Structure 1
Amino acid sequence: MNSQLKTGLILTIILLLISVYSKSQTRYYVKAEAFNYLGNGLSWESAFKSLQTALSNSQAGDEIWVAKGTYYPTTNSDRTIAFEIPDSVKVYGGFDGTELYSYNINQRDFSKNISQLSGDIGNSNYLLDNSYHIIKTENVSKETIIDGFNILKGYANSTNSDQQFNAGAGLYNIGTAIESPSSPILKNLIFEENYGKDGGAIYNDYHTKMTIQDCTFKNNSASRGGAIQIRNTINSQKVGKSETKISRSRFENNSVSINGGAIYFHCGNGDCSPVLENCFFINNIAEIQNSSITPLGGAVAIYSSQGTSNITINNSLFAENHAYYGGALSFDSNYGSHISNIQNTTFYHNSADRSGKVLSNRGYNGSSKSFIKNCILEESTNPSIKHFDNFYSETTLSFSIVNTSNCDLLGLGTTCQNTTIFNGAPEFIDSNNIYGNDNIIGTSDDGLMLSNTSEAIDEGSKVNLTYFSDIIGQKHINAPDIGAYENPCSKIEFLASIPDISNEYAPYATTQTLTAANTITAARVYYQAGKHILLNPGFKVEGGHSFQAKIDNGCL
């Protein structure tokens, strides 16, 4: 082959590769205020008016930018039509509709530019003719992203025996391939006022591995899983592992008539290993509506039958949730095996009609074991923990604060290690206002933050800890504090004098007088705000160093 022919062949291959790559990176624009339906969708000026048009034109690798406005799955009354997201397509909302091509999507203002996906397709505000699902994904990879939308008013109430149309009114995700679970990533979404018999906002079935980040679920309802239901059983066969990770998300005012006010995991014959991190569960309810049914798990419920379930809960808050049993949590293993590991979590004023304000634990011909570490159990009455079939269920507490005088009062079947603090006083900043003055949960003025005199400060264990900050992102100082929130000051039991303050910043909180004597080489020390520093006569600063007192995060 001569050199010219060889060079020409190489150039042809390169051009083909560029062409394929360019095609795989197409970005489509959607704008509810577009002038007509004739645009090609390749710019804001020629944007598609319909999100469905953009989805039908997209293929793997493409992305869709959706401007503020309200979008419906269909313009007619067909309730079965949903926004079906193709595999490996990224769909982003929250745009003004004027952004440049190079715009950084992390700068979107979701409160100003609301991209709303609504199931209210029929008569306005009449639920019975709304879409069964607003979004549907099937056998999609983790390259499939849905980011920046308000998803509301789906209504999955079909009386048909087909599970599809009575579950997951906001989003229905199904994975039928054992080798590759359906694994969409959901970010910056608000699911509100959705209803489904199973999974009011989201339903996952069979083999799934969903990731949920920075999402809000409020006022959704169902029979099981007011906000979310995860299920992995098909025809009584083991289908593989269902893995769900939910982080930095909020669940408020969701409700069910059976199990799992916010989330219900039905592990069935398969295996599931959900992870909940930095999440808020507030005022979710599993409300009794039928005398023959005992609702379980005001916030989260897990049922494991013949399979294995392992749930991890870190850095989370469960407040004012309610159920018949298990005001916050319910773990039920029927011929299966369940283990729960709960760390740095605060339980506050959850309630149960019968027992188990914090959790109910049941191992019927199976086993259910819970390990609670670095947690605050601040409940109004006891017992906080209910065990059914004690031989098969157990709960172990360590490095935790409880408001009882002994372990037995927490509930039979509970073991408390000697690191448990009984009759503890977490000393929250303002437990009467858990949202804080800004009325937003998850900010630095939250009412369940620890005061500077709390005995929870520095009393946690960092052994096997895989995270280094608290529920709102504050770094752990020295040993972690007990509970979901880290006080910005570290605690010193007694501090009389510091002869030589080190070169490094050291955060301190103490009610003692701080006395600095002798030579100070480089004085930089945090001290509890409102106290004072006494420098003994005769102290001096040498070597060109200076003595500074700096106020930072409530510490001096």
Structure 2
Amino acid sequence: MRPTFVLLLIFSTLFSQTFAQTRWYVRAGASPVGADASSWATATPFLQDALDAAQFGDTVWVSQGTYKPGSGTDRYAAFVLRNGIRVFGGFAGTETQLNQRDWVAYPTVLSGNIGAPNDSTDNSYNLLYLTKTGMTTRFDGFILERANANNPDNVNVFAHERGHSGSAIYLDGQGTGNFAYLTIANCVIRNNRADHFGAVYANGRDNGKTAVRVENCRFENNSAFFKGGALVVENYALQPEAFQMENAVFSGNFGRIGGGALYVEHHQVIEIQACRFEKNSVFAGSGGAISLFGTNLSHTVRFDACTFSENFTTGNLDGGAVDYFPSNSVTGLQFFNCSFLRNSASEGGCINILNGDSYCPLRFEQCRFIQNTAGPGSVLATTLLSPLGELRFRQCLFYENSESELFLAGNSADTLLLQNSIVVKTGGNAPFFNRSQPLRIQSSLINRPDCSHFGPASICDTTAIFNGNPFFADPPNGDFHLNPCSQAINAGDNALVAGLGSDLDGQPRIRAGRVDLGPYEHDLGFVPTSIIPASCPDSPDGAVVFGGSNCAPVFIAWSMGGTFGTRTDSLVPGAYVFSFIDAAGHGAIDTVIIPSLPPLVLLPSSAAPNCVGESTGVAGVSISGGTGPVQIAWENGNSGNFLFSVPAGTYPVTVTDALGCAASALIEVPAAQEVEVYYTVTPATGPMQADGEIRIDSVLTCMGVYAWNGPAQTNLLPGNYVTTVTDPCGCFALFTAEVGFTVGTATSGNEAPVFWLAPNPVHAGREFSLHWVGNDAPESVWLVDALGRVVQRLEIVPGSHQVDMPAPLTAGTYRVLVWDGNRILQVLRVVVV
């Protein structure tokens, strides 16, 4: 440990033991003086120092730059990573959150080029070493390059040990009780070389435990003189952890004896998903991309959504892409949604199986085999010491592969099935399957005249299509979707696709009622590309245009409610159910809504004349919707939005838009409010006494109820008085009020009593009074509403000259009926406001 860092690391280590999950910072070129690795500002420049300080659960953040193991040219020096530590590269050196890093823009490199530049013979034997680490140990966001495990000592250093294997990463899980696991993510491992096993080697020999999990990594141009140029996982006993890879790319790797990219001997589940293997190769062995081997295996190997392209073997050996050799095992090999493109080998251009007395069913579902080459078995070759089990191809595509696609030597499979698949053979007469064992063909297509071209003992069901042309979209450019006139559309057996919910594109596996042949489901493509709304809510000028992929000519029919038709234009608005049948007999149903353009909406407006009898009213209309410009037509010929100076009444208007859509309305101009005067009369005290009074209580005007607060007309002799009241709008009212007189308690003339109400109008719920003068008091008083219903009834005390009543709670005009026995003496009006 470097002196400038030791004291700080002692303190930090003690601190991390007390408080778990410490973060350590490493920055290339940082000053070691005062560096405690607790922040970017105090980051250490020495990666190994941070790895030594970190404890289980800690993280180490490493900024961009190049880091080399050791401090000089010691080829044995390597970075050592301990259990449970997670190391992340790809930082600029300013981040505070892990998701802020960008390992592509800020590469963090572990380089083995510790000696002379451009001379690989003196480079590091190994870049990273691990032992006794669990799967939570993580190495994420690094480039590992230019290590060379070519130790010249072949006597004291075994081929599988450090110095000869695992030039980029060496996981040492060898021996009983030992283990080594690692998750490798977002890494590029390139240009590394090894004498024996490749760039990454997980060693679980001698009852050891080991596995790796690879996520989103790229392995480029790595090489091994023995096996597995890029990655090797090797163990001989049952393992607790699966070997898993996802989104990894292996390109241009080389393994001389086998497994150009990957060699796996793993006694647990193997799962490889969404990985690409391209242009990997071997020289004197099998498995141009992958070699799988094992004795006493009991688990399945599964590939899902993987692509194998242009991998190859030379030296007359087998398995251009994959070689599998299970011995004394009960296992299985499965490929789902995989593509094999232009791989080559002497036998088994894509896959070779050497079955050493094992039960190993093979399943291929929705896989593509395109232009692969081999002597026999351009897709699959097997050498079987015991029956293989079932061999099944379901929803697969075989296109222009050389010779016989399937070659089985020795014992054969128990059951051979080709289901809902497409076979397009290139020139020559080699059958699809070379053996005399029956190959059962179910609902499949071949571009050959009869069933014998599938194999000498093949059995074709009645749905097989011979001399078929699948009409692929664009084979030279790799597009093998079905054209709309393909015989493979709707030609499969739905009973054979149980468990397949989607096709190779991830779209529904069955779209038009019956499954298509091959890995892709064709979309008949009767898709509305343009919908033209109707111009008016009831206009037959809507239309729909259908596009997509279909086999012309196409018959189209529709239903909408109780109507039917075949045109796609001249449609009124509504929901149409369209049915399609193309020239190939393919059908589909779709529902299309034909809308209308926004309809015209007329919003009436009006104002009453100022005064009764005047022509000062206004009729108007506001317009929304429709297609401008619009035309407005009033009955009197006007064309504006408003009619001015009109009397109360009804005014028809019609609006027509630019498309001829029309809407009409009747605009009501209400009558003007009459001026109404409410007053109280106080009689004079005698026939010649000028002490009568007319008091105006309130006036109902154009602006509502006006509470009169002006002077009363006083000092009036008995007689009739005509009064004129003018409101704020200039409207007026004439009313005649009679001022009577009293003599003692009797009225003048025939001594009939005189009645008046006060206050009038009266506020709802408030009290008002009926007053009278005269010889006799009435017997009762009734309050009646506008519909003639009695609201209240009061008996009058004899000899009184006033009765008080509560006004109703509801505003309006009411009548007060004054009764004397069976006759009404007087009817007065009271307004409740």
Q: State the TM-score bracket (shorter-chain normalisation).
A: 0.7 to 0.9
Matched with 1:332 is 325
Q: Structure 1 unaligned segments of length 5 or more: list them.
A: 1-18, 289-294, 433-447, 498-506, 521-532, 549-556
Distance (whole Å) between structure 2 residues aligned to residue 115 and residue 483 of structure 1: 48
Structure 2 counterparts to residues 75-474 of structure 1, below 5 A: 75-99=71-95, 101=96, 103=97, 105-158=98-151, 159=154, 160-161=157-158, 163-165=160-162, 166-175=164-173, 182-206=180-204, 207-222=209-224, 223-233=226-236, 238=237, 240-241=239-240, 243-267=242-266, 271-288=267-284, 295-323=285-313, 324-352=317-345, 354-381=346-373, 383=377, 384-389=379-384, 391-393=386-388, 395-403=391-399, 409-412=405-408, 413=412, 415-423=416-424, 427=472, 448=478, 450-451=480-481, 453=483, 463-464=498-499
- CA gap of 1:403–1:37, structure 2 versus 1, over 3 A, is same
Given the superposition, is the C-alpha separation of residues 514 and 260 from structure 1 closer, same or farther in structure 2, using an over 3 Å criterion?
farther
The residue correspondences of 1:38-57 to structure 2 (distance < 5 A) are 38-57=34-53
Deviations 1:277-336 (A, max 9, x none): 000011000123xxxxxx101111111223345210000100100012110111112333
2:148 maps to a residue whose letter is Y
Aligned letter for 2:573?
Answer: K
Q: CA deviation at 1:420?
A: 2.8
Q: Which has the higher contact order (CA 8 A, sep 6+)?
A: 1
Q: CA deviation at 1:84?
A: 1.1
Show the counterpart of 1:477.
Answer: 508
Report the residue type matching 1:265 in the other structure: V
Write the letter of the residue equivalent to 1:307. Answer: L
Query: Cα offset for 1:379?
Result: 2.4
Instruction: Give the gaps of 5 or more residues in structure 2.
Output: 1-14, 425-445, 447-469, 529-546, 577-591, 597-833
Alpha carbons of structure 1 residues 431 and 171: separation in structure 2 relative to 1, 3 Å? farther
Inter-CA distance 430–492: structure 2 relative to 1 (3 Å threshold): closer
Q: Distance in 2 between matches of 1:287 and 1:29?
A: 44
State the Cα deviation string for residues 446-482 of structure 1 (Å, max 9, x = none).
xx465463979998976446x9796xxx644345999
Letter of the aligned partner of 2:296 in structure 1?
Q
Match for 1:125: what amino acid?
N
Tell me, yes or no, if the aligned pair for 2:218 and 2:249 is still in contact at 8 Å.
Answer: yes
TM-score for both structures, normalised by structure 1: 0.75
Distance 1:145 1:449 in 2: 39
Describe the shift of the 1:23–1:374 C-alpha distance in structure 2 as closer, same or farther (beyond 3 A). same
Closer/same/farther in 2, CA of residues 364 and 65 from structure 1, 3 Å limit: same
Structure 1: which amino acid aligns with 2:165?
A
Deviates more, 1:141-150 or 1:210-219: 141-150
Change (3 A) 1:61 1:451: same
Check the 8 A contact 2:420/2:516 in 1, yes or no: no
Q: CA RMSD in A?
A: 3.9
Paired letter, 1:453: N
In structure 2, the residue matched to 1:444 is none
Mean Cα deviation higher: 326-335 or 400-409 = 400-409
Alpha-carbon distance change, 274 to 109 in structure 1, aligned in 2, over 3 angstroms = same
Q: 1:319 to 1:408 in 2, by over 3 A?
A: closer
Q: AA paired with 1:422?
A: V
The CA distance in 2 between the partners of 1:144 and 1:126, in whole Å, is 33
Local SS of the residue matching 1:111: coil
Structure 2 distance, partners of 1:187, 1:246, is 10
Aligned residue for 1:436? none
Which is further off, 454-463 or 86-95? 454-463
More strand by share: 2
Alignment partner of 2:50: what SS? Answer: helix
For residues 457 and 121 of structure 1, what CA distance do their matches in structure 2 show? 61
Question: Cα distance 1:515–1:115, how it changes in 2: closer, same or farther (>3 A)?
Answer: farther
Q: Is the 8 A contact 1:374 1:483 kept in 2?
A: no
1:20–1:154 Cα change, 3 Å:
closer
Q: How many pairs does the alignment contain? A: 473
Contact 2:489 2:517 in 1 (8 A): no
Question: Which residue number corresponds to residue 574 of structure 2?
Answer: 541
For the structure 1 residues 338 and 26, does the alpha-carbon distance in structure 2 shift closer, same or farther, using more than 3 Å as the test?
A: same
Residues 310/180 of structure 1: CA separation in 2 closer, same or farther (3 Å cut): farther
The whole-number CA distance in structure 1 between the counterparts of 2:405 and 2:148 is 43
DSSP-derived class of the 1:258 partner: coil
Match of 2:522 among 471, 491, 500: 491
Q: Equivalent residue for 1:6?
A: none
Q: Could you tell me how far apart the structure 2 residues matched to 1:111 and 1:179 are?
A: 39
Give how far 1:148 is off: 0.4
DSSP-derived class of the 1:163 partner: coil
SS at match of 1:422: strand
SS at match of 1:106: helix
Q: Distance in 1 between matches of 2:100 and 2:516?
A: 34
Greater mean alpha carbon deviation, residues 107-116 or residues 273-282: 107-116
Q: Any idea what the Cα deviations from partners look like across 1:156-211, whole Å, max 9, x if unmatched?
A: 12232262221111111133587895332111000001112343221112112321
Report the Cα distance in structure 2 between the residues aligned to 1:515 and 1:134, rounded to whole angstroms. Answer: 68
Which protein has the larger Cα radius of gyration, Structure 1 or Structure 2? 2
- Sequence identity, in percent? 23
Q: What is the SS of the residue equivalent to 2:90?
A: strand
Distance in 1 separating the partners of 2:503 and 2:140: 25
User: CA offset at residue 28 of structure 1?
Assistant: 0.8
Counterparts of 2:132 and 2:268, CA distance in 1: 18
Q: Would the aligned equivalents of 1:517 and 1:539 in 2 still touch at CA under 8 Å? A: no
Equivalent pair of 2:471/2:482 in contact (CA under 8 Å): no
1:225, distance to aligned residue in structure 2 (A): 0.4
Following superposition, the deviation at residue 364 of structure 1 comes to 2.5
Give the letter aligned to residue 187 of structure 1: A
For 2:61, the equivalent position in structure 1 comes to 65
**Residue 530 of structure 1 corresponds to which residue in structure 2?**
none
* Aligned-partner residue type, residue 110 of structure 2: L
> 1:515 touches 1:536 (CA, 8 Å); kept in 2?
no
Q: Which residue of 2 aligns with 1:441?
A: none
Shift of 1:542: 5.7
Query: Distance in 2 between the 1:546 and 1:426 partners?
Result: 35
> How many angstroms apart in 1 are the aligned matches of 2:340 and 2:595?
42
**Kept in 1: contact 2:356–2:385 (CA 8 A):** no
Structure 1 residue matching 2:419: 3-state secondary structure? coil
Distance 1:516 1:77, change over 3 A: farther
User: Tell me, what secondary structure is at the counterpart of 1:377?
Assistant: strand
* AA in 2 matched with 1:282: E
1:51–1:409 CA distance, 2 compared to 1 (3 A): closer
